[in-house]
Chains A and B, each alone.
Chain A
Amino acid sequence: MFDFLKGYDLLAAFWVTVQLTFYSAVGSLIWGTVLAAMRVSPVPLMRGFGTAYVNVVRNIPLTVVIVFTSLGLFQTLGVTLGAADFTTINFRLAVLGLTAYTSSFVCEALRSGINTVPVGQTEAARAIGLNFPQVLRLIVLPQAFRSVVGPLASVLIALTKNTTVAAAIGVAEAAALMRVMIENEAQLILISAIFAFGFICLTLPTGLFLGWVSKKVSVRR
């Protein structure tokens, strides 16, 4: 029944999906934190830039962003991100696109986390004479990080599902392999079930685990 699987490396395809998710998650966590810092900074120009970035990037479809990295950045402007062969170039471009897109959602999650901290907390902290870095480090961020686990988990899972869009620029991840297999084999239902199962294995445990963590660390108010 599973003879048709010969000649296809399912694990390798899902490994590419995991790698895409990992690198984009790290990248968008960093860039998203920078953006969130800008959006809450006292400098109006930085706030404006952060707001503009988030509002523009969030409203562009990820597919447009990813296809642009390939057609626009690579084929038109010759951006190769330091890679030599097409496989690496496409992979890195996909990570770049996913990072640019996902970081706007990370930024919003972090910002809403900061907003959940009651004003009284910082007022009390300032009243006992803590300065801005101290307020941030000792009072606001510890509480913000705890309330941000749940929203960040949602972003991570959405990112895992979004890596399939990289198939549009020829990255050999799970959805790309599924396309090839559907074309060549007659077992449509079975192939789809296998890939659906693969993604459920990736997303559902992450969701359940991080949901449990966020309940565990949440601040009771």
Chain B
Amino acid sequence: MSSRSVLYDVPGPRAKKRNVLLTVLFLIALAALVWWVVQSLADKNQLEWVKWRPFFTDSRAWSTYLLPGLENTLIAASLAMVIALPLGALFGIARLSEHWWVRSTAGIVVEFFRAIPVLILMLFANAAYSEFTDISPDSRPLYAVVTGLVLYNASVLAEIVRAGILSLPSGQSDAAKAIGMRKSQVMRHVLLPQSVTAMLPAIVSQLVVIVKDTALGGALLGFSELLASVRPMSANYGANTIASFTVVAVVFVVLNFALTSFASWLESRLRRGKRSTGAVVGADAVDQLATPGERVSHDDLGGAGGTSST
């Protein structure tokens, strides 16, 4: 571990003894916590096998509630991503335009949607669809969730695209201009193709944010996604609220953990790569890029500056 060497030496005999003592104390505290949780669950009869059994022995719990919910979550998330990506690319490139009015308009739009909670956007979209369009009430939650997610995430993706293009060494566009390419050609043939690889990790970890935000639709707009399956399940399987929540949370954790791991695998692969410029918009940059008013500069991109891949 790298953090290990920053903070302390390899432990000697005294430090080893102290570490063992700390381990034992922490283990006791942890055991006390676990015991307390188990006790309070058992007090309310939440640990009975009857309440957990449906998820292990009965496939109907999965086929009736969980899998359709997961399917809706994935549909909403992937629709949002597919629509938001080109929009984000458009605004990200517009923010780098040489014309001030294109740059500032795109900037205002992006900053506006980055500063507003995604729930506000979803509520607005939901009401707007019911007032101005004749989308059936059944499919309206999906439309509202996707619209809210697209508006918010397109603006975050715009920042990712901008950071991706900025992360490339300036020699790339210099060389392209030197051989006589036009502005649009530089963007299409040189900058965009390289920045797409550079920002892949950031895009994948933005997908995690999108998946998590679909749950808002389940709680507040009546969108029947994974979280919304908790209520019918606990009604049908004898008030097994804790068991239902645990299963839903585990599904979310497994899905998002897989995506996060994929993002960091991509990132380390890109950083090691010899064929590219070594420019990367890291998965961790996403939190920063989602912040209104925050301007990501060239050297904030975590290693992107050191592009001397020899």
Residues of A within 8 A of B (CB): 39-46, 49, 55-56, 58-64, 66-68, 71-72, 75-78, 105, 108, 111-112, 114-115, 117, 119, 122, 126, 132, 135-136, 140, 150-151, 153-155, 157-158, 161-162, 164-165, 167-168, 174-175, 178-179, 182, 188, 192, 195-196, 199-200, 203-204, 206-208, 211
Q: A56-B253, A59-B253, A178-B123 are in contact. Are A40 and B3 (CB under 8 A)?
A: yes
Q: A42-B8, A63-B219 are in contact. Are A200 and B116 (CB under 8 A)?
A: yes
Segment with Cβ contacts to A, from B39-47, B135-143, B162-170, B186-194: B39-47
Which chain A residue has the least Cβ–Cβ distance from B261?
A55
27 A-B pairs with C-beta separation under 8 A: A42-B19, A43-B26, A45-B30, A58-B256, A59-B257, A59-B260, A63-B212, A63-B215, A71-B241, A78-B44, A111-B3, A115-B2, A115-B3, A117-B6, A132-B8, A151-B288, A157-B292, A158-B290, A168-B216, A175-B119, A192-B127, A199-B115, A199-B116, A199-B117, A200-B116, A203-B115, A211-B293
The answer to whether B44 touches A76, judged by C-beta atoms less than 8 angstroms apart, is: yes
Majority secondary structure, A binding face: helix
Q: With contacts A42-B15, A162-B117, A174-B120 known, what are 9 further pairs, Cβ within 8 A?
A: A42-B4, A46-B26, A56-B253, A60-B253, A72-B242, A154-B290, A200-B292, A204-B111, A207-B115
Closest Cβ of chain A to B119, distance in Å, is 4
Q: A72-B245, A154-B291, A155-B287 are in contact. Are A55 and B257 (CB under 8 A)?
A: yes
Which residues of B have CB within 8 Å of A140? 6-7
Residues of B within 8 A of A (CB): 2-9, 11, 15, 19, 22-23, 26-27, 30, 40-41, 44, 46, 111-112, 115-120, 123-124, 127-128, 131, 208, 211-216, 218-220, 227, 230, 234, 239, 241-242, 245, 248-249, 252-253, 255-257, 260, 284, 287-288, 290-295
**A164-B118 Cα distance, complex, nearest whole Å:** 9
Closest Cβ of chain A to B52, distance in Å, is 14
The answer to whether A114 touches B117, judged by C-beta atoms less than 8 angstroms apart, is: no
Please list the 3 inter-chain residue pairs (A to B) with the smallest Cβ-Cβ separation, ordered nearest first.
Answer: A207-B293, A59-B256, A61-B212
Which residue of B22, B127, B249 is within 8 Å of A43 (Cβ)?
B22
The answer to whether A43 touches B112, judged by C-beta atoms less than 8 angstroms apart, is: no
Which residues of B have CB within 8 Å of A43? 19, 22-23, 26
The answer to whether B120 touches A207, judged by C-beta atoms less than 8 angstroms apart, is: no
Q: A43-B23, A60-B253, A67-B219 are in contact. Are A175 and B117 (CB under 8 A)?
A: yes
Which residue of A77, A114, A150 is within 8 Å of B44 (Cβ)?
A77
